[in-house]
Structure formats: C-alpha cells, structure tokens
Structure 1
Amino acid sequence: MNIINVKVESLLLLSNKKRITMKSQENHHRAIARLGRYKAVVLMALLPLVGCTPLASEPASIEAPAGQFSHTGTAPLVSHWWEAFPDLQLQSLEQTALAANPDLLATQARLAQAEALARKSGASLYPQLQAGVSNTSTEGDNSYSGSLAASYELDLWGGLQAASESARQSWLASREALDAAAITLTAEVADTWYELIEQSGQIKLLNEQQQTNRQMLELIELRFDRGMVQATDVLQQRQLIESSDALLANARAEQAALEHQLSALLGQSPTAPGIYFAEGDLIDLPSLPDTGLPAELVQHRPDVRQAFHELKAAEADIAIAVADRFPSLTLSASLTSTAGGLSGLFSDWVSVIAGELLGPVFDGGQRVAEVDRTNAAARAALHDYSSTVISALTEVEDALVREQQQRLRLQSLDRQLALTAEVVERTRYNYTKGVADYLDVLDALRTHQALQRDQLTARRTLLTYRIALHRALAGGWLADSLETTAVPSMIEIASL
C-alpha cells in the first residue's frame, strides 16, 4: 500500500504565471544562460520584461496515510502525556528533567541559533544603509569628511527570498526537533524511573525469597541431624541461598546504575549530596488512549513535522542554486561631504548613484553542479520524510501489539504462579513426610521464585510498552511554550 506520496518540483514562475516542471525548467535556465553570450545591452533590455518574478518551489502535495490503527482506547490524549499516569513522583521528576536536562537545554540553544539565522537571512531582502565620519589632520590643518551609503540587491530571480524561506524552514524544523527531544527525554525519565522501581521490588522479593530459603535450610539441617536426609540435600539448599545472594548483588548494582542514569537525566551529578529517590510500587496501567487515525498522527508528531520542514528547506535550496546561475543587479547610492570644520560638514554633499550588473560567464560547471546537488538533496529529504512517516506508524502499531500480547503473558504468569505455589506447598509437605525427594522441592522452589521475579519484570515491561505508545502518539508543546508570539511569516522574520 502506498502510504505516502510526496511530489516535489522546483518551478520558475514566469511573467505569464506559467509553471513548468523540473526538466522543462532546466531547459529554460539553459536557454536564458545563453543570453550571456550576447551584449550587456541586450540583457539590460530584457530585464524589464522579466521583472522581479520570484523563483519559487511547488508546495509539497501530501497524500494522508489511509486506514486506522489495529487498536484504540477511549482516554483522551494530553499534551503532557505522563500526566495520564497516576504517579505524583513521576510528575515531579518530569518537571525537573524538562527544566534542567543539559541536552534539552542545548537543543533549546540550537533553536535560538536557528531563529537568529532566519532573521539574519531575511535581512538580505532589505536595503543596507551605512554612515561614517572621519577626521584627517595634516600639519595643523583639519579636514572632516562624512559619508552615507546605501545598497540594495534586486531579487530578480527570487534567490534571496528562497534563502530567507530556507532559513525559516530550518528554524521551524529546529522547533520540531526541540519538541521531539522533549518527548524522548520524558519517555526516558519514565522508563528509567519504573526500571528503578522494579529493581527495588526485585531486591525486596529476593530478600523475602532468601528468608524462605533459610527457613527451608533449617528444616533440612534438622532432618539431617536426625539422620533422615543426606548431606547433599543440605549442600544443595545452601547453594540455592548462595545463588540468591548473587542475584541480590546484581540487583543492587543495577539499582545504583539506574539511580545514576536518572540523576543524569535530571541534570544532576550522581555524586551530588542529598540525591535520594523514594522507593515506590509499580502503578496499575491507566486506560488505553485514543490513538486517533494515522493521518492525524502525521499532522502533530514532531519528528514527522521536522522532516517535512527539512523537505521544504531543501526545496528552497534548489531555488537558491538555480537563481545563482542568473545575473545579479545591485543598486547603490552614496552621499559624501568634506569640510575644514564640523560646522560646514553637512553644507555641501556629493551624491553618486550606481548600478552593478554581475553575471556568471564561466565557472567550470560549478553552478550547474550545485543545482544537481540541491536536487539530489531534495530527493533525499523526500525519502527521509517518507521513512519518518512509516517509522512513526510502525512505532504505534508495535506498541499496541506488544502491550496486547504482554497482557496475555501476564495472565499466563499469574496462572503459573498459582500452580507453582501449590506445587511448592505439596512437595514440601511430602518431603517432610519422607515420600518426596528433595530435588523435587528444590526444582519447585527455583521455578516458583523465578516466576515471581519474571512477573515483576513483566509488569514493568507492560508499563514500558505503554510509555512507548504515548511517546509514539505524543505531539509537541515545549517550543510553543517558549514562544510569546505566533510563528512569523518569512517577511515578518526579515523585519524582526
């Protein structure tokens, strides 16, 4: 099924408003480039006919993904997705991470850079004005001079406008990148937090199992003292206790590593004093959110929107490269004044008005190669966009299927635990009566205790899949909260 079809064409808008395809546009550019072989007078005569027609790109035509997701819920999606989890500790951790995580703060700084670059690029659409005053002293004679100069490059082929638009699209892509980074960060905080809770639960469970194992060891040693069992029964039970101690050591090491990881996500050093993460319990899974339609996901997911803006920036880059193959016209004007004193400096001005027409004659194919490069870059951006959309839909479907199957696995583990608990009780009773071998008791204990640990991990894994679903469905909010005004247009950016 063709999920997405994006058609990107770079067009030259002529004075008769006729739009042409990439191939015919290239032919048109080659025809106009041949004008360089004629005299400058002919070219100057043609310029008024061309006017200031912009060189624009055809807006991308996007076909929305069809179909619907395999499962959906009824709970509404919220912008701060973690608020759907009944966990006050998680809410506090997320707020801290969003305010202090250094990687997120660096992404915010890069957004500020992109915004400044957009304003800088937009400034080229306006005239430049410079003023200066100088003083020269020769053998006691002072001479003052003042100047006022203005220059303006006419955007004949739309290259300057395209450059401003490219910078604007890059800035918009940076906004979406910030939102994507924020969503990733909040998901990592939630995952790490529940992994930490799981490890705390594993340690508690292992201690409880150790207590049960030691009670069993006392029973076996008592029977051994009475000559009712062999020494191998005692040794095997002691080995079970030692293996549980090894599991405890691994769990404590993993707990410490997760605490360090969570500290780093919160922008804190793991060696800083006073850092303590309260132990908690794994929460019950909230209601399944309303996944909506695939077409809606494409519209609000930040990484998809980022890929779209990068595609639009690549389209604008094509227009920049094509415009660079045409002549440029710069108008300039200057006023100068020279006097022996400051009082007479502004009484007599000399004005100069000039126009400069520059056009490529021979560059060894450099500009043609740049057009080819930007076309290839636009095709790559197109495929990247398509890949991002497919990945987004895949992530939602994967999370939905995995959660559904994990629920079935948990139900099976619950039934297995009930059965193994009964097996442990019966084999232990038969062992005390001397009608069962100790290996049956040992095997039942190991199976039951392993299932207890697996059940705890499976509950945390179910939460991980729900976090992955929220991460896949989440829309952006952080960049909007940092802005005090609406997204400016290209001209508005230039005037900032």
Structure 2
Amino acid sequence: MFRNRLKVLQRPLLAALLAGATALPAYAESLADTMVAAYRHSALLEQNRAVLRAADEDAATALAQLRPIVQWVAGYTYQNIEGFDGNSASISLQASMTLYDWGRNAIAIDIAKESVLATRASLVGVEQDVLLGAIRAYLDVRSATEQVELQQNSVRVLGEEQQAATDRFDVGEITQTDVSQADAALAAARADLASAEGDLEVARESFRAATGKFPNKLDPLPPTPKLPASLASAREIGQRTHPLIQQAKREAAASELGVAAAAAERNPELTGSAALTKQTNKTQATGSSLESDVGSVSLNMSQTIYSGGRLPSAHRRAMAQRDATRSSLLNTARQVDQAVGTSWANIDVANAQISAIDQQIVSARQAFQGVREEATLGARTTLDVLEAEQILLQAMADKITAVANLQLAHYQLLSSMGLLTVENLKLGIPTYDPSAYYKAVKDAPFTSRQGESLDRVLRSIGKK
C-alpha cells in the first residue's frame, strides 16, 4: 500500500522540485530599467560631475590671467604735524595687465584644458562603475530569488519525503534510522532556505543602494551583449576607448606641459598698469583744501635672477611628475589589457560551466528517478534517495550561479573595453553633457548675457 502511495507521490514531487528553478512569475523591471535608475540616482556621478565643473572653472581662471584687472581703491590719511591736524582722502581707478610673459600663461591654459579632458574621461569611468554595480545588483537579486524558490521547493519535496518515510516506518517497511535521515535532510533544507532568504535580503539592500529603491518584480535576463570578433579585437578596442587610458593620456600630456611651465618661470615678465586718482588734502594750519586729479601709466619688466634653488627644484619636480604619469599610462594600459583578457576568459569558463551543468542536471535527474524507483522496491535506502536528490538540487543551484556569471562577464568585458556607458548601451535617456558647462565658462564670462547663458546651463543640470 505504501509503495503504491510512494509511486503516486513520485511524479508530482519530482515535478515540483524541477519546477523550482524554472517556474518564475512574470516580471516587470528590466535590466535596462535598473541601469537607468542607477544612472539617475548615483550620488557618485553627481560628485564627479561637480569635480568636472570645478576643472572647467580652472580653465576659465587660467584664461582670465591674460586679461586686465580693474579695481577701485579708496584711502584716508590723518596726520598731526607740530600740533596742526591734516587729513587727505583719495579714490582711484586702477588697471593692470600682463603684457607679455614669454608663454607662461598660454602653457597654464593648455594644462587646464588637458585637466578638463582628463576629468571628463574620469567621469566616464565612474559612469561605467555605476552601471556595472547596478548590473551586479540586478543579477544578485535575480539569482537570490531563484535560489529561494529552489530551496522552497526542496523543503516541500523533503517534507513529503519525510512524511512518506514516517508512514513506511509505521508499517515496518523501514527502520527508525531511515526516518531520522529524512528528518535531518528536511532540517538541513530549512536551514538552506533561511540562508537563501538572508542572501536575498542582502541583495535587495545592495539593489536599493545602487538604484534608490527596492526591486519589484524583475524581467528575465536579456540576451547577452554582442562580443567582438576576437580577443585581439577586444584588446584593441580597450586600448583605444577605455576611459582610464584616456585619462592617463591627458594627465601625461598635462605633465609634459608642466615641465615647460616650470622652465618658463625663469622668463621675464612685462606688465603694464594705469591709474586715475582724485585726491583731497586739508590742512588745519591754513584752513585750505586742495583737490587734485592724477593720472599715471607705467610699464614694468621683471625677471628672477636667483631664487635660492626654488625654480630649479620646481623644474626637477615637474620632470619627476612627468616620468610618473608616463609610467602610470603604461601601467594603466597593461591593467586594461589584463581586464579584457580576464573578462574574455570568464565568458568562456561560464559557457563551459553551463554546458557541463546542463549535462549534469540531465544525468542527476535520471539518477534521482531511478533511485526513487528502486527505493519503492526496497533495493535502495532513504539515504540513497536523499543523496540523489541533493545532487540534483546542487546542480540546479550551480546552474543559477553560472547563468548570472555569464551575464556579468559579458558586461565586465564591455566595461574593460570602455563601452559600458548609457550612450553605447542605447538606454534611451537624456545623458549629462560634460561639455555644456565648459562651453558656458570657457571664456571666463562676466557680462550679463554670458551670465544668463551660464544660469540656463546650471538649471538644465539641476544645480540652480
């Protein structure tokens, strides 16, 4: 009787176990939605956009050094000479300007521009990190959700197994040892379920940190991104487009200019100034008041002859910094090349794992069915059934992990090639224009019309 009952239970129980890895509800939030949410939510992106705007202002400041400085100066002086009071007041309008500095300010402007371009490249790198973090959070939630459902099905199946073992024990078909083994397997499954549920909560928190909200229902994974034709092509793309390499190149260029700037500090400097002053002098002794208007124009040329070793030291320091940035560029190129190769290898490994696990699942399923059939005939023990079931369950869990790893490896490859951006992924949302603010401030605006243009840019990026 109980053997017949076990045979009746066998097929629905097996179906419940196998359905755990595949029967997922309809989802609504896609991977693209998650990346868009992360892009819009990221405080790290906001921070680095502000850093870029500061670099834009450095370029404007460097340009302003070529322009005249106009200022007003007011003064008042009181004097007492041999018991007589006197005072004087003056107000003047002064203008000064560097007329020629043998290239010093021009080099400073070029350095500032290279720094702007380096900071833009750094911003792209941050964007890649934000999107990759969102992808990892999405995959972690999906994988954790599937693991929970798999473990829930395992608990249900083992609960039925435990009840069947108890029934068989009651009629004397098996021993108390078999029942205890079923009890232990059920308790272990419940512990695994609790662990899986904990992993899901952790994954949900990571998702919220990346996107600003907890995940709702998630869509199935999209097709993996298209790969380059070969590893060599991927390496070439990485060397050409990766933002860290672009940043290192700009920093190296700026350091080369820094050497020229340090050398230019020894050059002369020609400055001009003009002033218009209105002065009033009053003397108590005579009771008179004298007013005068004074205009002046002057030219000055200066050059440092001896600096106590400061200028040669600054020149040597600039050359050392140049050497450091050159080495940094080489090291960055090597790291990017390694990252491309590693990601490519991870894709191959994940594909191979999935193929092998698929075969393992087919074999484990057949073994599980066979062991259960034999157990109903008394040729197998309860422990044999539980072990076969555990092997099948583990294979299914490994498949979930391998599929997530394959998807992540594809996006890691895009990141290592410098292609994991909103624009390249065609996510269909407005993106931050890194040149808009620079265009508004590059001429060091002062007039009201230029100021209004800058205000519009600030409003468009939500900063005013």
Deviation at 1:492, TM superposition (A): 5.2
Per-residue deviation at 1:149?
2.0
In structure 2, C-alpha distance between the alignment counterparts of 1:368 and 1:249, rounded to whole Å: 68
Q: Distance in 1 between matches of 2:422 and 2:437?
A: 13
Q: Which of 331, 338, 359 is the aligned partner of 1:387?
A: 331
State whether structure 2 residue 47 is matched by structure 1 residue 103.
Answer: no
Structure 1 letter corresponding to 2:118:
A
Q: CA deviation at 1:368?
A: 1.8
Question: 1:306: which partner in 2?
Answer: 247
1:137 deviates by 9.2
Q: How many residues align?
A: 400
Verify the 8 A CA contact 1:163 1:320 in the aligned structure 2.
yes
Q: Distance in 2 between matches of 1:107 and 1:249?
A: 40
Aligned counterpart in structure 1 of residue 103 of structure 2, from 142, 158, 183: 158
Give, in angstroms, the shift of residue 294 of structure 1.
Answer: 4.1
Amino acid at match of 1:146: I
The corresponding residue for 1:30 is none
Greater CA deviation, 423-432 or 135-144? 135-144
Are the aligned partners of 1:123 and 1:495 in contact in 2 as well (CA < 8 Å)?
no
1:465 maps to which residue? 409
Q: In structure 2, what is the Cα distance between the partners aligned to 1:353 and 1:113?
A: 35
What's the offset of the Cα at 1:287?
A: 5.0
Q: Give 3-state SS (helix, strand or coil) of 2:306's partner.
A: coil
> 1:147/1:405 Cα in 2 relative to 1: closer, same or farther (>3 Å)?
same
1:482 has 2:426 as partner: no
In the TM superposition, what is the alpha-carbon distance from 1:144 to its structure 2 partner? 5.5
Instruction: Please give the alpha-carbon distance, in whole angstroms, between the structure 2 residues aligned to 1:287 and 1:105.
Output: 27
TM-score where L is the length of structure 2: 0.78
Query: Post-superposition shift, 1:225?
Result: 1.1
2:174 corresponds to: 229
Q: Is the 8 A contact 2:67 2:97 kept in 1?
A: yes
- Counterpart among 191, 196, 199 of residue 254 in structure 1: 199
Distance 1:219 1:449, change over 3 A: same
Q: Give, in whole Å, the separation in 1 of the partners of 2:218 and 2:410.
A: 19
Change in 2 beyond 3 A, CA 1:396/1:282? farther
Q: Which of the residues 283, 292, 304 maps onto 2:221?
A: 283
Unaligned segments of structure 1, at least 5 residues: 1-85, 269-274
Q: Which residue of 1 aligns with 2:155?
A: 210
How do 1:192-211 and structure 2 match up within 5 A?
Answer: 192-211=137-156
Deviations 1:125-164 (A, max 9, x none): 2232223455779999996533222222344342222222
- For each residue in 1:146-195, what CA deviation from the matched residue of structure 2 results, as whole angstroms up to 9, or x when unmatched? 32222223443422222222222112111111111011101100111111
Query: What amino acid does structure 1 have at the position aligned with 2:331?
Result: S
1:41 maps to: none
1:320 corresponds to: 261
CA distance in 1, matches of 2:388, 2:422: 52
What is the match of residue 303 of structure 2?
358
1:450-461 pair list within 5 angstroms? 450-461=394-405
CA distance in 1, matches of 2:413, 2:234: 14
TM-score, structure 1 normalization: 0.73
Partner SS, residue 435 of structure 1 = coil
**1:122 partner SS:** helix
SS in 2 for 1:482: coil
Q: Distance in 2 between matches of 1:167 and 1:287?
A: 37
Residue 487 of structure 1 and its aligned partner are, at CA, apart by 6.8
- Matching of residues 54-133 of structure 1 within 5 Å: 89-133=30-74
Report if the CA contact (8 A) 2:53-2:438 is conserved. Answer: no
Distance 1:302 1:455, change over 3 A: same
How far apart are the structure 2 equivalents of 1:207 and 1:252? Answer: 10
2:381 aligns with: 437
Change (3 A) 1:346 1:153: farther
User: Compared with structure 1, are the counterparts of its residues 87 and 279 closer, same or farther at alpha carbon in structure 2 (3 Å cutoff)?
Assistant: closer
Shift of 1:87: 8.3
Distance of 1:104 and 1:183 partners within structure 2: 10
The question of whether the paired residues in 2 share the 8 Å contact of 1:165 and 1:316 is answered with: yes
Residues 413/119 of structure 1: CA separation in 2 closer, same or farther (3 Å cut): same
Q: Quote the offset at 1:346 in angstroms.
A: 11
Partner AA of 1:451 in structure 2: A
Paired letter, 2:129: T
Partner of 1:184: 129
Check the 8 A contact 2:239/2:333 in 1, yes or no. Answer: yes
Instruction: Verify the 8 A CA contact 1:179 1:477 in the aligned structure 2.
Output: no
Deviations 1:427-478 (A, max 9, x none): 1111111112333222211111111111111111111111112222344678
* Aligned equivalent of 2:15: none
Q: Which of 397, 406, 425 pairs up with 2:369? A: 425
CA distance in 1, matches of 2:100, 2:172: 103
- Structure 1 residues 180 and 430 mapped into 2: Cα distance closer, same or farther (>3 Å)? same
How far does the alpha carbon of each residue in 1:340-386 deviate from its partner, in whole angstroms, 9 at most, with x for none? 89xxx9983321313141314141x2322221221111111111111
% identical equivalent positions: 22
Q: Distance in 2 between matches of 1:87 and 1:182?
A: 25
Instruction: Give the secondary structure class of the aligned counterpart of 2:30.
Output: helix
Residue deviations 1:318-349 (CA, integer Å, cap 9, x gap): 112212234434333323232589xxx99833
Describe the superposition over 1:30-67 as per-residue Cα deviations: whole angstroms up to 9, x where unpaired: xxxxxxxxxxxxxxxxxxxxxxxxxxxxxxxxxxxxxx
* Larger of the two Rg values belongs to structure: 2
Q: Which amino acid aligns with 2:178?
A: D
Residue 184 of structure 1 aligns to a residue whose secondary structure is helix
Structure 2 residue matching 1:361: 3-state secondary structure? coil
Give SS of 1:229's match.
coil
Measure, in 2, the Cα distance between the counterparts of 1:194 and 1:493: 46
Q: Displacement of 1:390 after TM fit? A: 2.1
Match of 1:330 among 271, 279, 291: 271
